[in-house]
Amino acid sequence: MLNYRITYKKLKNAFLIPSVFWIVTFFLIPVFLMLIYAFFERGDYGGVKYNFTLINFTLIFDDLYYKIILKTFVVAILNSLLCLLAGYPIAYFISTQKNQSIKNTLLVLVILPFLTNFLIRTYAWMVLLGNEGLINTILFNLKIIDNPLQLLFTPFAVQLGLFYNYLPFIILPLYSSIEKINKNLYLASNDLGGSNLKTFLNVTLPLSKSGIFTGLFLVFIPTLGEFIIPDILGGSKSVMIGNIVKDQFLTARNWPFGSALVFIIMFALLIVMSAKNIITKYNAK
């Protein structure tokens, strides 16, 4: 027995070293490397010159860029709120189902589109919104319009695409927090004369706070870094941070500036995460 324990101790390293190596080398170092690159000068043909500079961060405040950055934040906040408003009733509805198998089926139906390809879910909207797309064809055949409506390649299309893709992200955390609420609290509130609306506002909503925060976080952060949806559904007016980042790395070849832009996304991630942790701790007290 004792001998085996010693063997185990040696084994411990053998079990841990591969994954520690992997995550440090192929995740941690690359992410830090990118953050460091933000403080270097750009090289002549892509890459960097190893001179410390803050020029990439001042470039962010350039007229051309800060507006796009600001707009990206507005779009991301709007998308998080829209998803919350639209997702909450769905999560609430699923949690009130009494039949467990209906509940499970509905949850699977929420998760399914989320497990299909992001690119394809976005492309599907091109098929619907295009000038020869389904919506315009139907409206035309019903003689409601004479000329196709410009739906695709607009800010509206981008906001719709973001909403469509991220809605399932918020339903799951909302569901799990609403589901945990003790159902007797609803009865108690009703017995004490609370109307349904009052019960909702004073019982359901406050008790599902953690789900609301997690859900908003799960929508806000990826929306901030999004570039596929504006790239596919948006026009030149719907550029977001992610699109500039992509251009800096693939066409403009200003890697340090691209890194500085990613810095903003990481910084927002950090702030939102610490805010979430503080709120969670505060609520736990």
Partner 1 sequence: MNKKLLTTYTIIAFIFLYLPITVLIVFSFNKDKISSSWSGFTLDWYYKLFQNTDLLNSLQTSIFIAIFSSLISVVLGTFTSYALYKFDFKGKVAFQSLLQYPIITPDIVIGIGLLIFFVLINFTLGFFSVLIAHISFTMAYTTLIISTRFNGIDKNIEDAAIDLGATPFKAFRFAVIPSIMPGIIAAFLISFIISWDDFIVSFFTSGVGTTTLPVKVYSMIKMGVNPQINAISTLLLMTSLISTFIVIKFQNNVTG
Which is it for the CA torsion 250, 69, 277, 212, positive or negative?
negative
Q: Which of 11, 74, 81, 188 forms a contact with partner 1 (CB under 8 A)?
A: 11
Cβ 225 to partner 1 shortest distance, Å: 4
Which tokens hold the place of 52?
């410390």
CA dist., res. 187 & res. 69, Å (int): 47
Q: Which of 154, 200, 247, 253 forms a contact with partner 1 (CB under 8 A)?
A: 200
Cβ 180 to partner 1 shortest distance, Å: 18
Shorter beta-carbon distance to partner 1: residue 117 or 184: 117
Per rule CB under 8 A, is residue 26 in the interface with partner 1?
A: yes
Q: Which of 2, 120, 192, 284 forms a contact with partner 1 (CB under 8 A)?
A: 120
Shorter beta-carbon distance to partner 1: residue 63 or 117: 117
Size of the site for partner 1 (CB under 8 A): 81
Per rule CB under 8 A, is residue 144 in the interface with partner 1?
A: no
Q: Which of 117, 184, 236, 251 forms a contact with partner 1 (CB under 8 A)?
A: 117
Cβ 154 to partner 1 shortest distance, Å: 16
Per rule CB under 8 A, is residue 103 in the interface with partner 1?
A: no
**Could you tell me how many residues make up the chain?**
285
Per rule CB under 8 A, is residue 27 in the interface with partner 1?
A: yes
Contact positions with partner 1 (CB under 8 A) in 38-77: 47
Cβ 269 to partner 1 shortest distance, Å: 7
Per rule CB under 8 A, is residue 188 in the interface with partner 1?
A: no
Cβ 60 to partner 1 shortest distance, Å: 16
Q: Which of 55, 123, 155, 181 forms a contact with partner 1 (CB under 8 A)?
A: 123
CA dist., res. 239 & res. 258, Å (int): 15
Per rule CB under 8 A, is residue 84 in the interface with partner 1?
A: no
Q: Which of 162, 168, 174, 178 forms a contact with partner 1 (CB under 8 A)?
A: 168
Which tokens hold the place of 78?
């709007």
Contact positions with partner 1 (CB under 8 A) in 224-283: 224-225, 227-228, 232, 242, 245-246, 249, 255, 258-259, 262, 265-266, 269, 273
